[in-house]
Homo-oligomer: A and B are copies of this chain.
């Protein structure tokens, strides 16, 4: 009989998507939904970079080099230098979104049956890329009580086996917003050196750190061969639809191997590369303004959350996510109830239940992720909804 592949069956569906039908029903009833459930920024894409595409002037929309346009890779070297990451353009392969950088990294360094350690909660799509590559995710738990700090070194040691090939981190973190400190990065360096592991460092949100400075895996000197950075322009410039990312490593064997995967798919998108290259010449002040806006929203949402009785939200140091624990029975049920059975002033709020971000079954049941990708006025209204909802939710627990 015609059958779906085993990995196709294992492939997780988007954990956020399952709530979409309830949201659509609510909308059809005329209820306004505040979307704090997805990481699609509302910040406008800088006009200058969209204009670079609109003013483009070629006659044939050709394939680019499989590794990406050399001019763009050279420009990226300048950008990385500006954030104190020193790389050569030959250390960079342009990918179709950060997604492809993760997939290529997994495919090039890991085989079916190999294990990767990921502090949980983690970006849910790492599961998808792991299934595609046949790789086993071994979660170690970071907890809301410590603000999702890196688990202690012993927790890593406990799960390391001879099949362990890599550690994956996202810094600053999606979904927690946690910013790994320099000393935590040093711990990771110690572990990967001791056990000969790769450190896959997803730095999609690098530019959005609100107090501490970002410390990149690429700045860990002496362990260059172990470091593979995954990057993207999606969040940095509100350019998610460009589908442009990069895999960056000084490990020549990894670059050579990733290039072979890149050649098989021919090239990354041309227009997206124009966007990415133009972004590096954005006039000063763009990141400062954008960061200031996100920081204002972060301060607002964290304050509003912690003012709701029974809610706890640790201060996230970066990205544009906050994780909160709620006084409820089950966040999946609560998020569905918000869409299906609740409204306040004809509005409700859509949140991401945290269970989808944990690898360990049963964790995160009372937690939700909130993406502060709406302006302050909308965040206030969304928090009004959440506050009222928690007062009357039938599954409330104290």
Interface residues of A (CB under 8 A from B): 1-9, 11-14, 17, 40-45, 50, 53-56, 59-64, 66, 96-97, 99-100, 103, 107-112, 114, 125, 128-129, 132, 134, 165, 196-198, 225-226, 234, 238-243, 251, 253-254, 257, 260-261, 263-272, 275
Among the interface residues A114, A134, A243, A263, which one has the most CB atoms of the partner chain B within 10 A?
A243
Distance in angstroms between the alpha carbons of A1 and B253 in the assembled complex: 13
Given contacts A97-B266, A257-B11, contact A2 B271 (CB under 8 A): no
Q: How far is the CA of A21 from the CA of B282 in the complex (A)?
A: 35
* Copies of this chain held together in the complex: 2
Alpha-carbon separation in the docked complex, A128 to B264 (Å): 6
Is the Cβ of A44 less than 8 Å from the Cβ of B60? yes
Compute how far the CA of A198 lies from the CA of B5 in the bound complex, rounded to whole angstroms: 12
Whose C-beta in chain B lies nearest to the C-beta of A12? B260
Q: Which residues of B contact A270 (CB under 8 A)?
A: 241-243
A344 to chain B, nearest CB (A): 27
Q: Whose C-beta in chain B lies nearest to the C-beta of A11?
A: B260
Q: How far is the CA of A231 from the CA of B13 in the complex (A)?
A: 24
Name A254's closest neighbour in chain B (CB-CB).
B4
Q: Is the CB of B251 within 8 A of A5?
A: no
CB pair B269–A5 under 8 Å, yes or no, is no
Closest to A243 in B: B269
Complex CA gap A64/B38 in Å reads 13
Interface contact B253-A267, CB-CB below 8 Å: no
Check A107–B54 contact: CB distance below 8 A.
no
